[in-house]
């Protein structure tokens, strides 16, 4: 009698969790597709602010595609097109920037992979606001155009040897490809179980000092970088069990 009760309880428990898992999977998406627009900020030798050159913010667009591993984690790819710009003549302090007058403009195409951690671990729209963190690796293809036509060498002391240092930079072939490490934070607002708005701040760590085309004539000890602030929309697509109707699938 006791054995029969245990067997019935075990069967009920197994049936309950099987039903729960089936329904959860049928309502869970397999992939996430996203598109975004945003602002890109150059950070480097031509910007006196540690936060970057906000006077030369440029636009960018991006696409993303991710595989949802669990309610908390996803792995995906990203593709971004943007422009970076720097202009020392826009700043009054320190004064020498007006006379050095270095400028640059760079087209940017970025490819990368990233992992995302959803802090709250929700896979549906039961939580409207969801913060998340992400990091990855990537490569940026850049096309730098330098402009030093406003450089006034007479302002600088002979000890600085700035004309010769600038000549060294000019002789350097500008970088076409650089490795980047994107990392950042985001906030997701769920419009439904499959559609959401995403606000992200992404900082790119790099090992290059030639994103702006200058190094020796500027600050060779400081690496260049850039960040973006984007707003996008994402769509969850594909059921994990392949059930397109959304109805529970019976398993035997």
56-73, pLDDT tens digit by residue? 999 999 999 999 999 899
Helix (H) or strand (E) holding 159: none
How many domains would you assign to the chain? 1
Alpha-carbon distance of 231 to 208, in angstroms, equals 27
- Structural domain contains residue 147: yes
For 98-122, the pLDDT digits (tens) are 999 999 999 999 999 999 999 987 6
- Structural domain contains residue 12: no
Can you give the pLDDT at residue 245?
44
- Structural domain contains residue 15: no
- Structural domain contains residue 47: yes
CB proximity list for 242: less than 8 A, separation 6 or greater: none
- Structural domain contains residue 174: yes
- Structural domain contains residue 150: yes
Is the CB of residue 196 less than 8 Å from the CB of residue 129?
no
Is the CB of residue 78 less than 8 Å from the CB of residue 62?
yes
- Structural domain contains residue 245: no
- Structural domain contains residue 219: yes
CATH of residue 122's domain is 2.40.160.20
Q: pTM value? A: 0.82
For strand 225-239 and strand 103-118, is the pairing parallel, antiparallel, or unpaired? unpaired
Is the CB of residue 23 less than 8 Å from the CB of residue 66?
no
Alpha-carbon distance of 90 to 4, in angstroms, equals 83
Q: In terms of DSSP H, where are the helices of 156-238?
A: 162-171
In which domain, by residue range, is 90 found? 33-239
């Amino acid at each position: 009698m006791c054995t029969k009760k245990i067997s019935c309880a075990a069967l009920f428990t197994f049936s309950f969790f099987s039903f729960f898992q089936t329904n959860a999977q049928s309502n869970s998406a397999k992939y996430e597709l996203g598109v975004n627009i945003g602002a890109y900020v150059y950070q480097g030798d031509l910007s006196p602010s540690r936060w970057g050159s906000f006077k030369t913010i440029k636009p960018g667009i991006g696409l993303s595609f991710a595989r949802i591993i669990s309610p908390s984690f996803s792995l995906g790819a990203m593709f971004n097109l943007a422009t970076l710009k720097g202009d020392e003549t826009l700043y009054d302090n320190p004064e020498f920037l007006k006379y050095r007058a270095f400028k640059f403009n760079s087209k940017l195409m970025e490819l990368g992979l990233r992992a995302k951690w959803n802090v709250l671990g929700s896979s549906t729209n039961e939580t409207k606001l969801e913060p998340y963190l992400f990091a990855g690796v990537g490569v940026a293809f850049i096309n730098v155009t330098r402009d030093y036509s406003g450089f006034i060498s007479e302002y600088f002391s002979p000890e600085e040897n700035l004309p010769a240092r600038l000549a060294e930079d000019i002789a350097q072939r500008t970088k076409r490809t650089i490795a980047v490490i994107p990392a950042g934070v985001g906030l997701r607002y769920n419009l439904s179980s499959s559609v959401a708005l995403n606000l992200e701040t992404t900082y790119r760590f790099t090992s290059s000092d030639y994103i702006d085309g200058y190094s020796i004539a500027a600050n060779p000890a400081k690496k260049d970088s850039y960040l973006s602030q984007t707003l996008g929309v994402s769509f969850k697509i594909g059921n994990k069990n392949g059930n397109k109707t959304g109805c529970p699938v019976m398993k035997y």
